A and B are shown apart, each in its own frame.
Chain A
Amino acid sequence: MTAANNRRTIAVASGKGGTGKTTISTNLALVLAQQGKSVELLDCDVEEPNCHIFLKPQIHSSKPVNVLYPSVIQDKCTGCGVCAQVCEYSAIVVVKNKVLVFPGLCHSCGGCTLFCPEEALEEVERQVGIVEEGSSSGIHVIQGLLDITELMSAAVINGVKKSAGLSDIVIIDSPPGTSCPVIESVKDADFVLLVTEPTPFGLNDLKLAVGMVRQLGIPFAVAINRCDMGDGEVQRYCDDEHIRIILEIPDDIRIAQAYSRGEMIINVLHEYKGLFVQCLETFFNQKDPGLNTGQDGQ
């Protein structure tokens, strides 16, 4: 993504899966588009992108995502094993003077090629996924799709992010969890909205996600989905940690019904549009909408 003056990037993330990241990011994007803002929605959940189910974008371009991995030049290789020592991921090993490469495990760091004393390695390209672009209701939708059996989601996520940059506002639908693909999705965002649910599982995974964004130093706030069910522990935790809750969506069966039909909440349940508008206002009308990075009291 290239930096523009007023561009703001909001990443929607969560420690726990199935909390409503896609619901929230697609509805936020649609509210912005309906307000006449230029908005891009990046579906960075490249193992199972699903924003398209709700926004049904017209895909107009598709391009491959390639990564580099080492290939052995047999007549130069002495089987010394330096490459295997360099590799953090066991993507290249040397057994009985034979070099074995496991492309699926390679993180494309280039270390083995750099350190090979015989210059017996060269980097070659292979495809691990695609990036698709399209539009829907005034939203520029960009989604990544990791090839089946591939592991390097971060490369595809990076491809999605590189394709963005035309709009004033970018909404990122991140994968669940707190591992590398999530970090790759949220690390350049101006703000992270952490979605959770008021259950012990939701709380446990929220704590992990809060730890992650604090480590990254990105301002954040919390959204609670199905806010009127479960226990009050998530709210209590947010109070204790001075984390702002800027969106609460009730547990309404009509939302679940709309979701299962692939419909947008704000289009079919108009009374909920205000929640998303308000959430965005909280974000845009304040200099620092949280909005905090937590313990350091920012």
Chain B
Amino acid sequence: MKIAVSATGKSLDDQVDARLGRVQCFLIVDTETMEFHALDNASINAGGGAGIQTAQMLSEQNVKAVLTGNCGPNAFQVFNAAGIQVIVGVSGVIRTAVEQFKSGAFSQAATPNVAPHSGMKGGGGMGRGRR
């Protein structure tokens, strides 16, 4: 099964990043072979809708699940439509997280776990102040 993990770096020994729409990159991992490749997140500097664009990009990768820290309502809706399992609250080394996923240690999130725009630096969100 192909899954996506939000990542702080481009190897299995890097950490799971808590961010989704504003994460630097994803690792696309084949859970059977542990083969993987890194995918840069094109939406990292998007003006808005980063989570939505990220979810759309991952759905085009035909992944079946995404492992991340936080997922907001907009991205969650896109993952749902695409039939992609969302697993939130994941942290630590990516290799370990993938192993835990394979052993069935994680359960699918039923709802988004954070508000929209939570991954923006400074927590400014949209609408307010300078950009």
Residue ranges of A at the interface with B (Cβ–Cβ < 8 Å): 15, 17, 47, 84, 89-91, 93, 95-96, 98, 100, 102, 105, 151, 153, 176-179, 181, 205, 208
Q: Is the interface of A mostly helix, strand, loop or mixed?
A: loop
Contact B130 A15 (CB under 8 A): yes
Per-residue CB proximity of B90-131 to A under 8 Å, as 1/0? Answer: 000000000000000000000000000000000000111111
- Chain B residues with CB under 8 A of A47: 127-128
- Chain B residues with CB under 8 A of A90: 46, 48-50, 52-53, 56
Q: Smallest CB-CB separation from A17: which chain B residue?
A: B129
Contact B78 A105 (CB under 8 A): no
Q: Smallest CB-CB separation from A153: which chain B residue?
A: B127
Q: Smallest CB-CB separation from A81: which chain B residue?
A: B56
Contact B127 A176 (CB under 8 A): no
Contact A95 B78 (CB under 8 A): yes
A-B contact list, 9 entries, CB within 8 Å: A15-B130, A17-B129, A89-B49, A90-B56, A91-B49, A93-B56, A95-B55, A95-B78, A98-B81
Question: Within the complex, what minimum Cβ distance (angstroms) separates A174 from chain B?
Answer: 13
- Chain B residues with CB under 8 A of A208: 130
- With the chains together, A95 CA to B47 CA distance in Å? 21
- With the chains together, A292 CA to B128 CA distance in Å? 28
Given A100-B77, A100-B78, A105-B48, does the pair A95, B127 have CB atoms closer than 8 Å? no
* A-B contacts, CB under 8 A, total: 58
Say yes or no for B74: interface residue by CB 8 A criterion: yes
Say yes or no for B38: interface residue by CB 8 A criterion: no
Contact A95 B130 (CB under 8 A): no
- With the chains together, A47 CA to B24 CA distance in Å? 32
- With the chains together, A84 CA to B130 CA distance in Å? 27
Known contacts A179-B131, A205-B130; 15 additional CB pairs below 8 A are A17-B129, A89-B48, A89-B49, A90-B50, A90-B52, A90-B53, A93-B52, A93-B56, A93-B78, A95-B55, A95-B59, A95-B81, A100-B78, A105-B52, A153-B127
- Chain A residues with CB under 8 A of B130: 15, 177-179, 205, 208
Contact B56 A89 (CB under 8 A): no
Say yes or no for B63: interface residue by CB 8 A criterion: no
